[in-house]
C-alpha cells in the first residue's frame, strides 16, 4: 500500500506542510525575572536552543492576560500579555528574534470560552437575562419548577457540572472550569471580535494559530441531554457503549457541522495576509474522516492527529493510525500532522514505560504504578524516530528533546490543574508534564530561574536531563533530536510519500515503511528483529540498537536502501 499525502511537490508546498513545530509552554520554559514562572523574555533568551534543535516554528501556549485558573486557557484579554509573562514589546522582541533565526511563531487562540474575568462576562453578569450582554455567552433558564435544575445534564470536561447558576437564577454553560464560560458563536459580536483578534496577531507577524477546542464552538441548538463522557485529547465515549467510530453521532457539544463555517471564514481572513499563514485545529474528533473535514482546502491548514498519540507503544495501533489518518487526509488533499506529547497528556517517555504502554492515565501520582524510566525513554526515542520520518508535519513538546519523564511524585498541595480539584482528586491532571525545564544541572532550579524559584517542584531526576549535561554528548537524547531534524531536512523526509516495507509486520510488533529512499524500522516486538541485509545505517534511536544485523527490542532505525 502506498500512502500519498498531498501536497507531494515540495517546490510548491507551503512551509507548514512538513514543518517541525515546537510547543513552548511559557510557564515552564525559562524564567527571566526570577519569580518562578516562565516568561517571554526567558523564552527569547533561550531561542538559540530551538535554532540548534532545527525546528521550523514554535507554538506558544497562551501568555495573554488571565487569572490563570486553567494555566492561561482562561483569557481575560486577548490583546494583552499577562504581566506574569511580560509585555507586548516582549512578545514583539521574541517574534522578531525567532524570525531572525528562521523560526516562525504560532500563537494559541482560545475561542470556545473566555475567562470569567473577561470584560464581556463581567458585563453579562451585571446585565439582565435576555440582554445583548448575556447573548455573547450561553445563559439559559434552569429546569424544574423554580429553575433550580441546570438546563441540561452536561458535565464539564474537568469534572463536575457543566452549568453554574448566577444570583438572578439563570445558568451559564462552561464545558471546562467554572471560570471559563462558553461563548455563543451565533452572536455577531463574538464573530467580529475574533476576526479582530486574528488580525491583531497577524499584524504583529505571527505565522498562525493553534485553535483551542476547535470542535466545540458550536453546540447542538436544542442543547439536549447527553450521558456520554468526554476526556481531553481522546474525545467522547458514549454512555450506551456504542463505538462512536462505527456509528458516528457526535456529542451535542462537539463536532457540530456549524463549526466549519467559522473556519471557512477565518481561512479568508488569513488569506488576506502573505506568507502562508496557518491554523492548526485542536479537535478531539473521531473517526479520521470527520477530523479531515477541518482541513478541507478552504478551512484550516492542519489538525492535530491525536489518533497516533492515543495508540501508544503498539506497532499495530500505530500502523492503523497512520493508515486511517493519511487516507482520510489524502481524500481532502491535506498533509498530516504527528504528535506524541503535549501539555495535556502524560509525557510519552513515561507512558511507554508503564506495564501497559498503550495506557494513558490522567496523570501519574506517588501512589500509582511508576513508569520504568529506562524502558520508557528507549521506546520514546524509537517512536520519535519513526514519527519524524513520516510524511507531514510533526509537533514536539518542550522537554521531550531532553527525554524528560513525567513528574510522578508531585504532592497534592502543589497541584494546580483544575481537573484535580473538580474531579475531587480522582484525576490527578496535567501538572506532571508541565514542570519547568532543566537547563543546567548545577544551577538553582536547574537553570530555569535565576532565583531557584519554580512554580512546580522539579524532580531530582531532572538534573540528569539538563541541557548542559546532554550538550555535545553522543547518544544523548538532545543530540539524537538534533540529528533527527537535520537529517530529516537533508533527506526531505516529511515531504514525500510512504509505503509499507516488505518487512512491515505490525501484528508481530514491527512497523516498517519506506519514504524518500529511506527504510524506517521500529521494533516493538519484544524480540530482536533481523534487518534486511545490505542497508546502510543512517540513524539509530539508541547507540546499541543494531547488533550483528539485528534490531534490538524497543528501538528504531533509519536505513538507506541499497
Ligand atoms: C485544550 C488545552 O490544550 C487545555 O490545556 C485546556 O485546558 C482546554 N483546551 C481548555 O481550554
CA distance 184 to 425: 31
Q: What is the domain partition of the chain in residue ranges?
A: 2-113+188-481, 119-173, 497-560
CATH T-level assignment (fold) for domain 2-113+188-481: TIM Barrel (3.20.20)
User: Does ligand 1 lie within 6 Å of residue 85's CB atom?
Assistant: no
pLDDT tens for the 562 residues of the chain, in order: 455 544 444 557 999 999 999 999 999 999 999 999 999 999 999 999 999 999 999 999 999 999 999 999 999 999 999 999 999 999 999 999 999 999 999 999 999 999 999 999 999 999 999 999 999 999 999 999 999 999 999 999 998 999 999 999 999 999 999 999 999 999 999 999 999 999 999 999 999 999 999 999 999 999 999 998 777 777 777 666 666 555 567 899 999 999 999 999 999 999 999 999 999 999 999 999 999 999 999 999 999 999 999 999 999 999 999 999 999 999 999 999 999 999 999 999 999 999 999 999 999 999 999 999 999 999 999 999 999 999 999 999 999 999 999 999 999 999 999 999 888 898 999 999 999 999 999 999 999 999 999 999 999 999 999 999 999 999 999 999 999 999 999 999 999 899 999 999 999 999 999 999 999 999 999 999 999 999 999 999 999 999 999 999 999 999 998 7
Q: Atom 5 in ligand 1: which residue has the minimum CA distance?
A: 344
Determine the Cα–Cα distance for residues 156 and 333; give it in Å rounded to an integer.
35
Residue 260's alpha-carbon distances to 266, 293, 394, 411, in angstroms, are 10, 8, 24, 42
Top mutation candidate among 23, 74, 212 for ligand 1, by most atoms within 8 Å of CB: 212
Question: To which residue does cell 510557564 refer?
Answer: 27
559 touches 537 (CB < 8 A): yes
Which residue, judged by its Cα, is nearest atom 2 of ligand 1? 212
CA 473/CA 468 separation, integer angstroms: 9
CB contact set of 63 (below 8 Å; sequence gap of 6+):
26, 40, 72, 81, 82, 85, 86, 91
d(C-alpha 360, C-alpha 351), whole Å: 7
3-state secondary structure 142-200: CECCCCCECCCCCECCCCCECEEECCCCCEEECCCCCCCCEECCCCHHHHHHHHHHHHH
Catalytic choice (31, 212, 282, 417): 212
Which residues, at least 6 apart from 261, have a Cβ–Cβ distance to it below 8 Å?
none
* Pure H helices in 205-277: 259-271
Count of CB atoms situated within 10 Å of the CB of 68:
19
272 carries an active-site annotation: yes
Report which ligand 1 atom has the smallest distance to the Cα of 70.
7
Q: Any catalytic annotation for residue 479?
A: no
Cα–Cα distance, 448 to 439 (Å, whole number) = 6
Name the residue at shortest CA distance from atom 3 of ligand 1: 344
Distance 345 CA to ligand 1 centre (A): 11
**CATH number corresponding to 119-173:** 3.90.400.10
Cα(73) to ligand 1 centroid in Å equals 6
Provide the grid cell at 36.
518562578
Torsions phi, psi of 380, nearest 5? -60, -45
Estimate to the nearest angstrom the gap between the alpha carbon of 556 and the chain centroid: 24
The CATH fold assigned to 497-560 is Immunoglobulin-like (2.60.40)
Amino acid at each position: 500500500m502506498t500512502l500519498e499525502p498531498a501536497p507531494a511537490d515540495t517546490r510548491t508546498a507551503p512551509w507548514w506542510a512538513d514543518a517541525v513545530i515546537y510547543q513552548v509552554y511559557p510557564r515552564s520554559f525559562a524564567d527571566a525575572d526570577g519569580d518562578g514562572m516562565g516568561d517571554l523574555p526567558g523564552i527569547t533568551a533561550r531561542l538559540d536552543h530551538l535554532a540548534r534543535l532545527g525546528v521550523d516554528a514554535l507554538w506558544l501556549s497562551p501568555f495573554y492576560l488571565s487569572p490563570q485558573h486553567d494555566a492561561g486557557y482562561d483569557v481575560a484579554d486577548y490583546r494583552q500579555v499577562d504581566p506574569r509573562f511580560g509585555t507586548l514589546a516582549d512578545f514583539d522582541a521574541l517574534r522578531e528574534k525567532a524570525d531572525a533565526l528562521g523560526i516562525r511563531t504560532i500563537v494559541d487562540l482560545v475561542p470556545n470560552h473566555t475567562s470569567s474575568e473577561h470584560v464581556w462576562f463581567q458585563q453579562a453578569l451585571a446585565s439582565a437575562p435576555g440582554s445583548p450582554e448575556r447573548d455573547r455567552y450561553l445563559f439559559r433558564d434552569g429546569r424544574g419548577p423554580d429553575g433550580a435544575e441546570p438546563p441540561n445534564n452536561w458535565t464539564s470536561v474537568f469534572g463536575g457540572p457543566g452549568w453554574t447558576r448566577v444570583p438572578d437564577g439563570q445558568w451559564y454553560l462552561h464545558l471546562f472550569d467554572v471560570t471559563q464560560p462558553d461563548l455563543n458563536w451565533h452572536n455577531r459580536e463574538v464573530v467580529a471580535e475574533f476576526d479582530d483578534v486574528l488580525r491583531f496577531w497577524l499584524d504583529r507577524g505571527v505565522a498562525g494559530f493553534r485553535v483551542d477546542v476547535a470542535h466545540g464552538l458550536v453546540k447542538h441548538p436544542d442543547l439536549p441531554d447527553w450521558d456520554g463522557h468526554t476526556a481531553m485529547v481522546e474525545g467522547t465515549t458514549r454512555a450506551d457503549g456504542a463505538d462512536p467510530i462505527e456509528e458516528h453521532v457526535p456529542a451535542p457539544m462537539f463536532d457540530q457541522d456549524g463549526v466549519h463555517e467559522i473556519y471557512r471564514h477565518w481561512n479568508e481572513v488569513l488569506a488576506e495576509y502573505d506568507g502562508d499563514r496557518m491554523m492548526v485545529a485542536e479537535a478531539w474528533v473521531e473517526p479520521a474522516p470527520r477530523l479531515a473535514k477541518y482541513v478541507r482546502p478552504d478551512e484550516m491548514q492542519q489538525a492535530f492527529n491525536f489518533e497516533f498519540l492515543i495508540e501508544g507503544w503498539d506497532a499495530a495501533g500505530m500502523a492503523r493510525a497512520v493508515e486511517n489518518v493519511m487516507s482520510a487526509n489524502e481524500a481532502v488533499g491535506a498533509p498530516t500532522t504527528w504528535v506524541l506529547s503535549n501539555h495535556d497528556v502524560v509525557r510519552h517517555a513515561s507512558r511507554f514505560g508503564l506495564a501497559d504502554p498503550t495506557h494513558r492515565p490522567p496523570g501519574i501520582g506517588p501512589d500509582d504504578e511508576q513508569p520504568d524510566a529506562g524502558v520508557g525513554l528507549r521506546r520514546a526515542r524509537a517512536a520519535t524516530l519513526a514519527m519524524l520520518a513520516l510524511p507531514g508535519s510533526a509537533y514536539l513538546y518542550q522537554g521531550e528533546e531532553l527525554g524528560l519523564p513525567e513528574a510522578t511524585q508531585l504532592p497534592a498541595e502543589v497541584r494546580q490543574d483544575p481537573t484535580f480539584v473538580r474531579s475531587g482528586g480522582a484525576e490527578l491532571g496535567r501538572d506532571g508534564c508541565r514542570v519547568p525545564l532543566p537547563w543546567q544541572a548545577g544551577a538553582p532550579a536547574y537553570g530555569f530561574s535565576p532565583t531557584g524559584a519554580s512554580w512546580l517542584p522539579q524532580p531530582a531526576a531532572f538534573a540528569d536531563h539538563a541541557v548542559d549535561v546532554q550538550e555535545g554528548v553522543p547518544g544523548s537524547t538532545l543530540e539524537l533530536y538534533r540529528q533527527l531534524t537535520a537529517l530529516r531536512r537533508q533527506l526531505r523526509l516529511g515531504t514525500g510519500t510512504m509505503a509499507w516495507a516488505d518487512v512491515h509486520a505490525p501484528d508481530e510488533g514491527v512497523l516498517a515503511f519506506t519514504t524518500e529512499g529511506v527504510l524506517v524500522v521500529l521494533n516493538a516486538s519484544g524480540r530482536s528483529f533481523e534487518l534486511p541485509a545490505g542497508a546502510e545505517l543512517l540513524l539509530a534511536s539508541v547507540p546499541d540498537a543494531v547488533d550483528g544485523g539485528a534490531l534490538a527490542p524497543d528501538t528504531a532505525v533509519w536505513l538507506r536502501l541499497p
